[in-house]
Amino acid sequence: MTHCFHTRVLNRLHLLTAILALGIAQTEIQAGNHVTINQDNVLVINGRKVFPIGFTTAPQPDAKAPNGKNGLEELADAGATFMRTGAFQKDWSGQTLVTEQQWEDAAARYGLYCWVYLRDLAVIGEHDAKREALLRRVVEQFKNHPGMGIWKGADEPEWGKKKIPPLVRAREIVRELDPNHPLAILQAPRGTVESLRPYNPAGDITGADVYPISYPPGTHSLLTNKEISMVGDYTRKMMAVSEGKMPVWMVLQIAWSGVVKPGKTLRFPTFAEERFMTYEAIINGARGLVYFGGNVKQAMSPEDAKLGWNWTFWKRVLRPVMEEIGNHSPLVPALVAPESKLPVILRGATDVEYCVREDGADIYLLACKREGATVNVEFSGLPIANGEGEVMYESPRMVKVSGGKFSDWFAPFDVHVYRFHLKK
């Protein structure tokens, strides 16, 4: 009897311990990701600074890449962090909830985060009780999922002439239920700083999409500049809209309707063009990038169409770009660092754009050249008397520094990324 009694007690203790452990595990799972924005407008996920790189839209959760890996795994391995999910061409429904669960599960499995498009639920009027109830259900269901990243509000609301109060109301509901995930609202390449700025209270992150590659060039924009350098123009515009109070994310081109509609000529960015647009956005202040159009069927080869995503463009153009700026790249410390206060000055051209970042003993200088003539420029103001600097991704090329100065050549749309190490 004594032995049996002790056995029963031990079994109950083991069961209680297991229940407590399960409860703790469930609590940890339910806590979800803690996503914030720091004073430098950098996204911070669970205490780690992140430069968001996303896709709208990514391969389907169970889709395969040509190399046989899961498509999302392939993106994550290259350094991607985000993918747009949520409602696509239809409003939220029971089926959307099921599909989003699949996206969230896949994101968590491969180390990605969902950027959940609220679509119809991003606009909540005073008498939209049914829509508000569905919004609350969506937020409650996914706010603690380990695949949850941020929310996406109304798409291009200024161009769509959406009223601001219902957008603000939707954001207030999201914030009330889920203070751990910001909400982003991105604009079309339209409007003015003055017409766009009133939309800032409706989100935590702003930005714009711009797709310069087409025939004729620049049809996505109303600006007189039809070159790919319009990416920098729009990034600076959105920086002015944000007033430095919120991050700017830019959406860049894989493919878009302007190159696939009947009567249009299919055209993709080259590697050099995509690389330039990527760095120009970063240099002008973007704290996140999203690439649009990998899922556009009309832009896929027959082989890609079978797999459901533009893997040809990925292999030839985008993956090499990802390897420079992705989540695993040596440039990440610069991408999440604040703007440096070093007095670096450029002489010799007015069309070379640059930014300076610091991380410990390393100084990074990112520079790109707009259209125009090939030039030789001088950078000065580095805290280095004499030495060398690495030109990243152009090995074995180096630049020589003398008296805090160095010179280099820039052809149109060139990008150079310099890294200098301060000796102690």
pLDDT tens-digit readout, 76-114: 999 999 999 999 989 999 999 999 999 999 999 999 999
- Claim to verify: residue 238 and residue 302 sit in the same structural domain: yes
- Claim to verify: residue 294 and residue 356 sit in the same structural domain: no
- Claim to verify: residue 183 and residue 118 sit in the same structural domain: yes
Res 423: pLDDT:
82
Per-residue pLDDT at 29 exceeds 90? no
Give the Cα separation of 313 and 309 in Å (integer). Answer: 9
Torsion-angle region of residue 37: left (phi > 0), alpha (psi -120 to 50) or beta? beta
Res 31: pLDDT:
65
- Report the interhelical angle of 164-177 vs 129-142 (nearest 10°): 40
CATH number for position 329:
3.20.20.80
- Claim to verify: residue 218 and residue 90 sit in the same structural domain: yes
Per-residue pLDDT at 21 exceeds 70? no
- Claim to verify: residue 401 and residue 317 sit in the same structural domain: no
Lowest mean pLDDT among 28-37, 140-149, 345-354, 371-380: 28-37
- Claim to verify: residue 297 and residue 398 sit in the same structural domain: no
The letter for the amino acid at 257 is S
Question: Mean pLDDT in the chain?
Answer: 93
- Claim to verify: residue 39 and residue 26 sit in the same structural domain: no
Per-residue pLDDT at 24 exceeds 60? no
pTM of the predicted protein model: 0.92
Mean pLDDT, rounded, for 288-317: 98
Which residue in the block uniquely carries the two structure tokens 């959105």? 238
**Which domain covers residue 23, as residue numbers?**
1-31
pLDDT digits 0-9 by tens, 256-284 = 999 999 999 999 999 999 999 999 999 99
Q: Is residue 22 classed exposed, middle or buried when 0-12, 13-18 and 19+ CB atoms within 10 A define those classes? A: exposed
Res 23: pLDDT:
36
Closest CA to 124 of 172, 157, 84: 172
Is the distance from CB of 403 to CB of 345 less than 8 angstroms?
A: no
Name the percent of the chain lying above pLDDT 70: 92
Number of domains observed in the structure of the chain:
3
Per-residue pLDDT at 18 exceeds 50? no
pLDDT digits 0-9 by tens, 224-259 = 999 999 999 999 999 999 999 999 999 999 999 999
In-domain check, residue 340: no
Return the exposure string of 386-399: e unless at least 16 CB atoms fall within 10 Å of the residue's CB, then b.
ebebbbbbeeeeeb
Give the Cα separation of 116 and 114 in Å (integer). Answer: 6
Per-residue pLDDT at 371 exceeds 50? yes
- Claim to verify: residue 230 and residue 355 sit in the same structural domain: no
- Claim to verify: residue 20 and residue 137 sit in the same structural domain: no
Closest CA to 50 of 149, 147, 142: 149
Name the percent of the chain lying above pLDDT 90: 92
Which residue in the block uniquely carries the two structure tokens 């150079």? 416
Per-residue pLDDT at 13 exceeds 90? no
pLDDT digits 0-9 by tens, 398-416 = 999 999 999 999 999 999 9
